Amino acid sequence: MTSQQPPATAPEATPGTRRDVAFASAGVELSAWHFPAATDDLAGPAGRPVVVMAHGLAGTKDSGLEPYARGLAAAGLDVLAFDYRGFGTSGGAPRQTVSMAGQVADYRAAAMAAKRLDGVDPDRLVLWGVSLAGGHVLSVGAGREDVAAVVALAPLVDGLAAGRLAMRHHKPSAMLRSTVEGVRSRVAGPRTMPVVARPGELGALTLDGCYEDYLAIAGPSWRNEIDAAVGLELGGHRPAKHAADLRCPLLVQIADHDRSAPPHAALKAAFAGRGEVRHYPCDHFDVYAGRDWFEPALAHQVHFLRRHLAP
């Protein structure tokens, strides 16, 4: 889809509602939700700012993103939340396979679709990502003049650091088992394992409490299944190196007791990007709706964006 083509959408929605949007990335149709701004408080001569929102590892737009999207829409920002290829209600094959390059390409396509939404200012993009997408926003935003702000929530910005953190919290046998499955997937064809499992079981995330925490936010399109090669894909993932190339305000929200996305790596990326940092005394999943730190995290995002995007 070229930048001149509008995304396929339902009729124009009214503030406070949600509408389905479709757009293309590398020939694959991706599924998204558009939340129109509930107020014109942040509107300028060219329109309202628009947030592009994406999830973390194997996440889908119906798994914990909507409360953030609605909170930002209430503050005067349009929001486009989307599913990566192969996940949720987006097209693409193979399914449930994480490609870092593919997800970054999908995010860039989502940004182009967001710029074409009715009533938005195409030069006031906000890139919003949680967990794995919290790293993607650094890569996508680097060097761009049309990005007005970046929000990285509990971001995973360094795959090697994440691997070292995982070794501190997992038994060596569990790490070896998942690595062997990943190698088999790469050599002999896709093999899947659970995204989350209980301690001692095979899975990408097996820390105590992760299974219950992820299922608490999981939406109907989410599947507890992922290509076992995801660990190998993460190894070379280092979006933190792009932080210094951002040309806009950056907000990095760090869960200080995060056992999945290394807090120290996020802090280093924030420093490189000259970013504003907010700390929360919690673990990775405690920033979602229904947990103690969702409201403070959302409030800090609204305060940050109003301060930098006010016309």
The H or E element spanning position 265 is: helix 263-272
- Closest to 136 in 3D by CA, of 111, 114, 103, 162: 103
pLDDT of residue 172: 66
Q: What is the pTM assigned to this prediction?
A: 0.91
Backbone angles phi, psi at 53, to 5 degrees: -125, 130
- 3-state class of 192 per DSSP? strand
Complete DSSP assignment for 275-298: -EEEEESS-GGGGSTTSTTHHHHH
Those residues of the chain that have pLDDT short of 50 are 1-13
Distance, in Å, from the CA atom of 11 to the CA atom of 9, rounded to the nearest integer, reads 6
Q: What is the pLDDT of residue 117?
A: 98
Tell me the pairing of strands 19-25 and 28-35.
antiparallel
Position 109 scores a pLDDT of 98
The pLDDT, as a whole number, for residue 279 is 98
Distance in angstroms (rounded) separating the CA atoms of residues 9 and 34: 9
Other CB atoms within a 10 A radius of the CB of residue 166 amount to 21
Instruction: Tell me the β-bridge partners of 54.
Output: 129
CB contact at 8 A, 255 and 287: yes
Q: How far apart are CA 16 and CA 299, in angstroms?
A: 18
Pairwise CA distance, residues 20 & 32, whole Å: 6
Contact 50, 127 (CB under 8 A): no
Q: Give the chain's domains with CATH numbers.
A: 8-160+240-309 (3.40.50.1820), 163-227 (no CATH)
pLDDT of residue 8: 38
Q: Which pLDDT belongs to residue 6?
A: 35
